[in-house]
Structure 1
Amino acid sequence: MFSFLWNLLANIVLRVFVWVMAFIICFGNVFVICLRSCIASENEPHTMAIKSLCCADCLMGVCLFFIGAFDIKYCGEYNRHAHIWMETLSCQLIGSLAMLSTEVSVMMLTYMTVEKYLRIVFPFQQYRAGRRQTLCSLASIWALGFVLAAAPFWDHQTFGNFYGRNGVSLCYSTGIFLVLRLTNFGFHKVY
């Protein structure tokens, strides 16, 4: 249980953990993006995929910063504002950013796994993902991630308050979770 009667985050351990993880996630991913941008790479498509993965992961750090900030805002009186908070655009956007981050990260890892698998299993084939193919793949992954994250906003009658079902806005639909995760898990086990 994340939320409690008086606070958005139930205890001090969660509060500290959210801030520490947010900092580590953002700093680590920005560091990797900067490092990869400064160092020349022989495999530019792979570097592009890593930078894209870091951007997706960094979004989760941003979500954690916002959750920590709203926990401070509602400190000691969350029970008076809980329903209002879960209906706000802020809560909805944090939830959609969390969904975007996790789904894009998982799809990106699957793409990188399949791409590396093909290079290892068929080393003498001419298959090499070029810059253009990689850009198209990454753009498709991000587009699908945006669609999955934005879908609950399109049909409020079907989805209801999808991202506001709990205080930290991290509720995922069972269908997306099972279908995408099982598919990605299958790719990782097969490849």
Structure 2
Amino acid sequence: MAFVANKEIQSGYSDYFSLCCIVGDIDHCEPIDLFASCTDLLRREALRILMLILGIAALLGNLVVIIRRVIENDFNVQSILITNLAVSDLLMAVYMIIIAGADIYYRGRYARYAEIWKNSFVCSFAGSISTLSSECSVFILMIMSFDRAVTIAYPFSTVRLNRKRCIKIMGIAWLTVITVSILPVFNRISFVNIPYFVDNYYGRQSVCLALPLTADRYPGWQYAIMIFLAFNFFSFIVIAGSYISIYISVKRTASRVNRGTRRAEEIRMATKMIIIVLTDFMCWFPIILMGIVSEAGAWKLPDEIYVWSATFIIPINSSLNPYLHTIAYMFKKKKYTPAHINY
């Protein structure tokens, strides 16, 4: 900790947010916690309410999707992917509930416990499952979109997913993303030391996120860029390309009177999927653009945009997805007969 005070001009400097609050007459404080105030972990009342509501909605909604899929025991490729997406979104619900719970626990006295909280295992755990959830969801959406594109545009291709391939890909995906998300917290284990991350990768802010949306160069910033910007940008290029190919394929065959029941069902399934993909795309793509612009130094992101992006825009997908699944499921049950493929 660095603290220098000049009694004559009553000014000073501190690199601890909590000390700035306790002393009260420090002119310059680094790092500034964009999300917290001296009294609360979440300084915006709207964020507190939304974090709790979204967390509960995501928890209940995704549990219903998972339980329904297990009870129906109809694990075709799309069901496997949707179940995995629900599990991923469920983890984001856990993250939101942890942060909302910590805000309630530290309400009115956050500054005294700020460093304890940000260096705690709970904060690191919350940050790691947030990364795990967001990146696994993006990967699953990419696989869903690619599979729909291959199925519709190239119906006789051998590249398309079957149940066995889908299970293998999901297993590899989960193992990879789990490793990526927990790697920065290995330094908390006594026999593991990765100097690159120092010892507090997720504890930079009160909400335990490592999003690269500012020009600050914390330890591990290149790692965050590769995960949240490079990988996500690549994934959404694949998603966009997949749906463009679907659109072109459907346009080419639109004039054919008899396209077959199977192909018609595949197109209907892709149409339902695009609603889910678009909601995630509309939330994540602005984050990617803001991160690229910020890292390029072309524009300094206003603090409020950063705060709302990290705590509202990103988690909202996990709350919306299960209800979009449910709406699509109910619509299909009402409109189509059981002879069709279950979605």
- The TM-score with structure 2 as length reference comes to 0.53
| Corresponding residue of 1:149 | 181
The runs of 5 or more residues in structure 2 that have no matched partner are: 1-33, 187-192, 212-223, 243-343
Amino acid at match of 2:80: M
Give the alignment partner of residue 17 of structure 1, picking from 33, 50, 68: 50
CA distances 1:81-121 after superposition (whole Å, capped 9, x unpaired): 11111111110000001010001010111111111111011
After the TM superposition, list the runs of 4 or more consecutive aligned residues in structure 1 that deviate by more than 6 angstroms: none
| Corresponding residue of 2:146 | 114
Quick one: percent identity of the two aligned structures?
28
- Distance, in Å, in 1 between the alignment partners of 2:73 and 2:184 is 41
| Residue 183 (str. 1) matches residue 226 (str. 2) | no
Q: SS of the residue aligned with 2:202?
A: helix
- Distance, in Å, in 2 between the alignment partners of 1:125 and 1:162 is 44
| Residue 158 (str. 1) matches residue 196 (str. 2) | yes
Aligned-residue RMSD, C-alpha: 1.5
| Residue 59 (str. 1) matches residue 91 (str. 2) | yes
How do 1:38-187 and structure 2 match up within 5 A? 38-39=71-72, 41=74, 44-154=76-186, 155-160=193-198, 161-172=200-211, 173-187=224-238
- Distance, in Å, in 2 between the alignment partners of 1:175 and 1:159 is 14
CA contact (8 A) 1:119 1:127 kept: no
Q: SS of the residue aligned with 2:67?
A: helix
Aligned residues: 190
* Displacement of 1:3: 1.6
Q: SS of the residue aligned with 1:158?
A: helix
CA distances 1:41-66 after superposition (whole Å, capped 9, x unpaired): 4x612101100010000100011111
| Corresponding residue of 2:59 | 26
Give the helix-richer structure, 1 or 2: 1
Amino acid at match of 2:233: L
| Corresponding residue of 1:2 | 35
* Displacement of 1:36: 2.1
Distance 1:65 1:57, change over 3 A: same
The runs of 5 or more residues in structure 1 that have no matched partner are: none
Distance 1:156 1:82, change over 3 A: farther
Amino acid at match of 1:125: S
Amino acid at match of 1:187: V
Distance 1:40 1:87, change over 3 A: closer
| Corresponding residue of 2:311 | none
- The TM-score with structure 1 as length reference comes to 0.93
- Distance, in Å, in 2 between the alignment partners of 1:77 and 1:93 is 22
